[in-house]
């Protein structure tokens, strides 16, 4: 009787541990998480470049890039309709890089980011239409 009961307790404990590990792995995948509704959406994320093009987009998109010594972040963006903000995060501080609204565009370089992993976060204020954003890290 004790052996059957012990086996049941061990099984229950193993199932519980497996459940906890699955929940933790699904909920803690990264510092920022992309979540959006989009139509005609194409995007790419490489260590030194990222882009997104869309017909409609509502939500947030996170890109992870790697900056090396003496490199800068070059970016360009345009938006036909809507409003969005682009942030960068390096060393835990989320800072606005630029914002766009109806018919807006931006093109610039930024050198004020330390070396290492850089998060680029695009957040919309409602649904945006016909947008294109490009980010490149280089010398």
pLDDT value, residue 137: 93
Same domain, yes or no, for 12 and 68?
no
Confidence category of residue 27, pLDDT binned at 50, 70, 90: very low
Same domain, yes or no, for 134 and 79?
yes
Same domain, yes or no, for 12 and 76?
no
Same domain, yes or no, for 40 and 108?
yes
Same domain, yes or no, for 5 and 55?
no
- Burial (Cβ within 10 Å: 0-12, 13-18, ≥19) of residue 39: exposed
pLDDT at 38 over 60: yes
Same domain, yes or no, for 39 and 91?
yes
Q: Quote the number of domains for the chain.
A: 2
pLDDT value, residue 69: 84
Same domain, yes or no, for 109 and 80?
yes
Confidence category of residue 90, pLDDT binned at 50, 70, 90: confident
Q: What is the pTM of this model?
A: 0.76
Kindly report the CATH number assigned to the domain that includes residue 61: 2.60.120.260
Write the secondary structure of the chain as one string of H (helix), E (strand) and C (coil): CHHHHHHHHHHHHHHHHHHHHHHHHHHCCCCCCCEEEEECCEEEECCCEEEEEEEEEEEEEEEEEEECCCCEEEEEEEEEECEEEEEEEECCEEEEEEEEECCCEEEEEECCCCCEEEEEEEEECCCEEEEEEEEEEEC
Same domain, yes or no, for 67 and 80?
yes
Same domain, yes or no, for 82 and 20?
no
Same domain, yes or no, for 71 and 14?
no
Same domain, yes or no, for 92 and 52?
yes
Give the structural domain span for 42: 35-138
Same domain, yes or no, for 107 and 126?
yes
């Amino acid at each position: 009787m004790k052996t059957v009961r012990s086996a049941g307790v061990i099984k229950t404990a193993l199932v519980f541990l497996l459940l906890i590990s699955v929940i933790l792995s699904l909920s803690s995948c990264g510092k920022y998480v992309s979540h959006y509704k989009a139509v005609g959406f194409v995007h790419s994320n490489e260590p030194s470049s990222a882009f997104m093009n869309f017909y409609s987009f509502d939500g947030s998109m996170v890109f992870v890039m790697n900056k090396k010594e003496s490199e800068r972040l070059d970016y360009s963006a345009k938006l036909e309709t809507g409003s969005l903000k682009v942030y960068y995060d390096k060393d835990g501080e989320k800072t606005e890089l630029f914002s766009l609204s109806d018919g807006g565009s931006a093109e610039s370089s930024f050198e004020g980011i330390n070396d290492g992993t850089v998060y680029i976060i695009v957040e919309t204020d409602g649904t945006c239409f016909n947008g294109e954003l490009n980010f490149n890290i280089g010398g």
